[in-house]
Structure 1
Amino acid sequence: MAKKKVFVSYDHSEDLRYKDILRAWDANDNFDFEFDQRSPNVAIDSTQASAIKSALTTKMKEADYLLVIVGAKSASSKWMNWEISRAKESDTKLRLAAVKIVSTNTLPSGLSAVGSAAIATSFEHDKIITALNAANNSY
């Protein structure tokens, strides 16, 4: 079975440890997807943002899925909202899935429309895989 190519979107200042857990799971041969991660450490409206957006877009176009790690501050992350919006564009059109670190965390606005993403309500391997398998790109 081919591994799923997943682009992971997360709040780099708050939720890095969850990306690290995914990386550890990905090192296991039994894990069924691989992912790319980038860490934009500049403001989305800075002069350097266009180069980062271009690099992120290239990586997104190599993926089939966008997995959004939904932490406490994700809904207000400009970068995460940009990544979600970019993932929905016709030249990218990724399947959308999200995993809430805590079930009460608020989804970023691009994922909050009913049916726009498959949601895992806790950060567990099986629940994330189930959400990815249910993900679609009909938003």
Structure 2
Amino acid sequence: MFKRKVFVSFDFDRDRNYYYMLKAWNENPSIEFSIIDRTPAEIQSASVGVVKQVLSRKINEADLTLAIIGSDINAPHPDRWSIGCVNWQNYEIEKSLEVGKRVVGVRLDWRFKLPQAMERTGCRVADGFELDKILALLRKS
């Protein structure tokens, strides 16, 4: 099976359990889910420049970005002016698109709005965090 290098964009404070589920599926040999995770470990820095540098490097290493779209996808971050986007997730998505990476999204609830960075791009989005839906997104991208 071809392994895609995937950068996962998610809200660490609210949606990390979904990221951990992706990792568990990836480690389970009886599940047909196979990615090479390019998501950085939590970045321990208050410097916006350092965070951007690490995220940019990891995004460039990936084939595509998978955005986990939770309730606070467009919630303003206190450093949004320095980030250049409303929050880090929108930055990750915009950076991915800027460097030519495909972006797909999994909306945790169909009522959640798309990230501002995805609203205008026509990126594929699935509603509901389900293995089959995520596999379909990865296969088509």
TM-score range, shorter chain: 0.7 to 0.9
Q: CA deviation at 1:49?
A: 1.2
Residue type of the partner of 2:6?
Answer: V
In structure 2, distance between residues paired with 1:72 and 1:119? 15
Match of 1:84 in 2: 93
Asked whether the equivalents of residues 99 and 128 of structure 1 are also in contact (C-alpha less than 8 Å), the reply is: yes
Match of 1:69 in 2: 68
Asked whether the equivalents of residues 81 and 109 of structure 1 are also in contact (C-alpha less than 8 Å), the reply is: yes
Residue type of the partner of 2:2?
Answer: A
Match of 1:113 in 2: 120
Asked whether the equivalents of residues 76 and 108 of structure 1 are also in contact (C-alpha less than 8 Å), the reply is: no
Residue type of the partner of 1:81?
Answer: N
Asked whether the equivalents of residues 118 and 132 of structure 1 are also in contact (C-alpha less than 8 Å), the reply is: no
Match of 1:20 in 2: 20
Q: CA deviation at 1:87?
A: 0.6
In structure 1, distance between residues paired with 2:88 and 2:114? 14
TM-score by length of 2: 0.83
Match of 2:48 in 1: 49
Gapped regions of structure 2 (runs ≥ 5): 77-86
In structure 2, distance between residues paired with 1:14 and 1:122? 16
Identity %: 32
Q: CA deviation at 1:75?
A: 2.0
Match of 2:102 in 1: 95
Match of 2:132 in 1: 126
Q: Secondary structure at the match of 2:57?
A: helix
Task: Name whichever of 55-64 and 75-84 sits farther off.
Answer: 75-84
Q: CA deviation at 1:56?
A: 1.0
Structure in which a larger fraction of residues adopt helix: 2
Paired residues, what number?
128
Task: Name whichever of 92-101 and 30-39 sits farther off.
Answer: 30-39
